Amino acid sequence: SFCTLLVMAKRERENRVLLNYWRSSCSWRVRMVLAHKDLSYEYKAVNLLKGEDCAPDYWKINPAGVPTLIDGEHTITQSLAIIEYLEERYPENPILPRAFEERASVRAVAHLIASGIQPLQNLGVQQKIGAQYGADAKAKWAKDVIEEGMEGLEEVLKRVAGKCCVGDAFTMADTCLVPQVFAARRFGADMTKFPTISRVVAHLETLPQVANTHPDKMPDAVKQ
């Protein structure tokens, strides 16, 4: 059970476990940071479609879903909190810039996506819309909210992006952008409207911490 896994991880203080789901945007963010920092971990799948995130033994660990990072004695939830924790505990290969104004820009982009776009198209919202209004309405909702959110994101990135979201270094902002564009493509969003986003993502997709943690390469991935 998940609770047994938690107890075992805490007993073995050097053990690191990521409870996650292959296609979860939030899970992918954390996988990218672990890869960027070259931190080994055990991959433990939580099947959202089967409701494993709502099972009593998982609920006790994290009632908010995935991801959950178990790092020895510490259990951390929420993707951006996990990323900040990893940055502070393992500062090598930083995921945040040194300059405070650039850090603010990284956090602004990250939260624009993680708070302003992704929650509106996540699995739970789509399931409720689909149940009430049908599959076509569900697909249209996801496409529309992503495109609306990306209009603002495009304007922000025009000001701060270099090769990556903020300047030329890979940061927490990039870990949010990559899964969001992956979702946008899934739901048929017109990415030609967003040339800056598309340019940045094209570069990010060449990076090993992005390519090697892609949902399709995860052990619980479902072939479409």
pLDDT in tens, 170-198: 999 999 999 999 999 999 999 999 999 99
Of the three residues 93, 126, 154, the one that is the final residue of a domain is 93
Question: Using one digit for the tens of pLDDT, what is the confidence trace for 39-57?
Answer: 999 999 999 999 999 999 9
Pairwise CA distance, residues 216 & 172, whole Å: 21
In a domain, 2, yes or no: no
Count of the separate structural domains present in the chain: 2
SS3 at position 207: coil
SS3 at position 140: helix
Of the three residues 93, 117, 152, the one that is the final residue of a domain is 93
Pairwise CA distance, residues 91 & 73, whole Å: 19
- Which residues span the domain enclosing 46? 15-93
In a domain, 43, yes or no: yes
In a domain, 216, yes or no: no
Q: Are residues 106 and 206 in the same domain?
A: yes
- Residue 218's Cβ-side half-sphere holds a number of Cα atoms within 13 Å equal to 25
In a domain, 119, yes or no: yes
Residue 122 has pLDDT above 80, yes or no: no
Of the three residues 39, 70, 93, the one that is the final residue of a domain is 93
SS3 at position 221: coil
